[in-house]
Structure 1
Amino acid sequence: MLLPFKSLLVFEAVTRNKSFTKAAEELNVTQSAISHQIRNLEEYFNTKLLDRSGVGIALTEEGEILYKDLSASMALLRRGVSSLKASLALTPVGISVRSHFALKWLSSRLRAADFSYDFRFFHSNEPADFSNADIHVSIEWLHLAEVPANARMIVAGNLTPACHPSLLEGIDDPTDPQLLQRFALLHETDVTSWQEWLQLAGVDGLVPLRNEYYSDTNVRQQAAIEKQGFALVCPELIRDDIAEGKLVCPFEQSLDSYSYYLIVPEDRLNIAKVRDFVHWLSNTM
């Protein structure tokens, strides 16, 4: 008997979206058509796959067994389709990258390069979700302890505090880390990086004027430019701001536990323009 591929497609969409309505919208069919295909699939296996007794959609034990492998297979199929489209120039090269790195380093270099294909950017501080077939490469900010074997360093982190030059006016020794107690420390979502840097500088017990937290690195750096306090920065990424007198890095201590890395799954390298982009980026580092 032939496999009910259409019903399997519908079942995967319903389960992944956790919704008959969203699955219908994704597949451009009616909800009644979705329900019909689910019934067909349950009749094919002669077992219930979805538990409709509660609120929302839940898988039965048999449904869990089917969805586990079906989900992986459908993700692989979507990647295959995406790879073919990309190789035929039907889709852009998808880059998952932090917005700060894109703004301060990548964008200007891409504009200066002469590419014959398009790009699509996915801005996120989280690791790339390569189950998304539209993402081909990722540039990630990683601690040394979490760098995967296939990663290539693009820019060394070398984090060090930066502030607007005016904050140092009238300070006898602007290279003394103890001066930070007079100002606000501008953090990301937690204090980890600042704690590591303060320990490195020998002032791990320092209590700043206050702490501020920013989930967006660009906003945090802008706060430093606007004299709100000190932010940890990667000097390589703020060369223009330093040259224009917007920021200064007064301390010699530099935390080198984080860096930007390029990550490319092996299957993405089957696409010629992805290989071309990776080659270009490797020569740009």
Structure 2
Amino acid sequence: MKLPPLRTLPVFEAVARLNSFSRAADELNISQSAVSHQIKALETYLGEALFLRNGRYLTLTDEGRSYQDSIGSALLQIERASEALLGEETARIRLAVFSSFAVRWVIPRLPALKRAHSQVDLALEMTGESPQLSDRVADCFITIHPESSAFTYDLLYRERLFPICSRQFWQRVCESLGLNSAAAEDGPDGEAMTLTPEQIAGFPLLSTHSIYGRESGDWQAWFQVADQGIPAHARVQHFSHMLMALEAARFHQGIALTNDYMLSQEDDEAAFVRLPCHTLITGDRFYFAHKTSRRNEPGIRLLRRWVMDQAIASGLRSASEG
């Protein structure tokens, strides 16, 4: 078995992850010159430059980035295997998840995770909706783009958007339209009554830019389901993020488009009303992802099963969905 100098590998991993020789030295409790010596020895063995040095700035070369992906994964597997044999009780797992899903769905469920699996030490890493799938970022991910063939993806949720408002604002809507609020609320899927797009457009619309990446894109798509455009008289308030639009709706400022996981907390039913009108299927699918080569690690297996169970229990997906 032909291996590189093994003592150089943890040093390389630390420098690549921290993007700094000095911070790697502090973490490893060795001198900066020792770090530099180990990196030089590894580059000499491989015959490749792993870092580009420009004054104080340090970046990985393409070869270094590829090597980091492989080495990082291998070192993590060695660590996990050693912990298992040593009988370590704590499974340290990093989950990369975008902000709205983290704040509205994952974080409220962390106490339940701790009660059910006290050995799991879960660290949340905030990312965009399309995080780079790499061991140097996290161990597991919530993503809407299942692009890497090196990863396994479990479907959590098929997104749909529907209009909501606060209960106080709902009373205003009903009074303005001459509706019985209780009767209207009984039928969110149209059993009792359905509000038309024209009626919805008569009230302030709270729009989230990030959903479609353009101004009023969410409401444009919602009206298109009914073969209409946003009426010229509609008043649209713009927000960059769905979390902001949801809070504006909570404080009675208008009607927002939101999805199921944004309304997954116990007090949401008391705070919001889902308006009786049509739903928009966005086409986005949310997945729990982890590197296939790490599928048998106990911590990852446990977190995957817990997340999938929670998705089913909260109604994001059915038990039969694939």
Aligned to 2:134: 131
1:164 to partner: Cα distance: 2.0
Residue range with higher mean Cα deviation, 235-244 or 257-266: 235-244
Q: Which runs of 5+ in 1 are unaligned?
A: none
Contact kept in structure 1, 2:91 and 2:299, CA below 8 Å: no
Structure 1 distance, partners of 2:79, 2:178, is 57
Check 1:43–1:252 CA distance in 2 against 1; reply closer, same or farther (3 A cut).
Answer: closer
Contact kept in structure 2, 1:177 and 1:251, CA below 8 Å: no
1:159 to partner: Cα distance: 0.8
Cα deviation digits, residues 130-187 of structure 1 (max 9, x gap): 43368443333x3xxx456943333342211212242514332781223325414231
Q: How does 1:251-270 map to 2 (within 5 A)?
A: 251-256=276-281, 257-270=283-296
Name the SS of the counterpart of 1:92 in structure 2: strand
Name the SS of the counterpart of 2:116 in structure 1: coil
Structure 2 distance, partners of 1:48, 1:109, is 45
Structure 1 residue 28 corresponds to structure 2 residue 49: no
Structure 1 distance, partners of 2:261, 2:135, is 30
Q: TM-score, normalised by structure 2?
A: 0.66
Q: Name the amino acid aligned to 2:206.
A: L
Q: Name the amino acid aligned to 1:198.
A: F
Contact kept in structure 2, 1:75 and 1:131, CA below 8 Å: no
Check 1:86–1:264 CA distance in 2 against 1; reply closer, same or farther (3 A cut).
Answer: farther
Provide the aligned length of Structure 1 versus Structure 2: 275
1:12 to partner: Cα distance: 5.6
Structure 1 residue 274 corresponds to structure 2 residue 276: no
Out of 155, 177, 190, the residue aligned to residue 197 of structure 2 is 177
Contact kept in structure 1, 2:95 and 2:139, CA below 8 Å: yes
Q: Identify, as 1 or 2, the structure richer in strand.
A: 2
Q: Which runs of 5+ in 2 are unaligned?
A: 180-194, 313-322
Aligned to 1:78: 75
Structure 1 distance, partners of 2:297, 2:43, is 38
Cα deviation digits, residues 200-241 of structure 1 (max 9, x gap): 1333243542332233x4333111111223221124642645
Check 1:273–1:71 CA distance in 2 against 1; reply closer, same or farther (3 A cut).
Answer: closer
Structure 2 distance, partners of 1:43, 1:236, is 51
Contact kept in structure 1, 2:90 and 2:121, CA below 8 Å: no
Aligned to 1:96: 96
% identical equivalent positions: 24
Structure 1 distance, partners of 2:40, 2:303, is 46
Q: Name the amino acid aligned to 2:175.
A: G
Contact kept in structure 2, 1:86 and 1:271, CA below 8 Å: no
Out of 239, 264, 267, the residue aligned to residue 213 of structure 1 is 239
Aligned to 2:166: 164
Give the aligned CA root-mean-square deviation in angstroms: 3.8
Contact kept in structure 2, 1:160 and 1:253, CA below 8 Å: yes
Contact kept in structure 1, 2:21 and 2:32, CA below 8 Å: yes
Q: Name the amino acid aligned to 2:161.
A: L
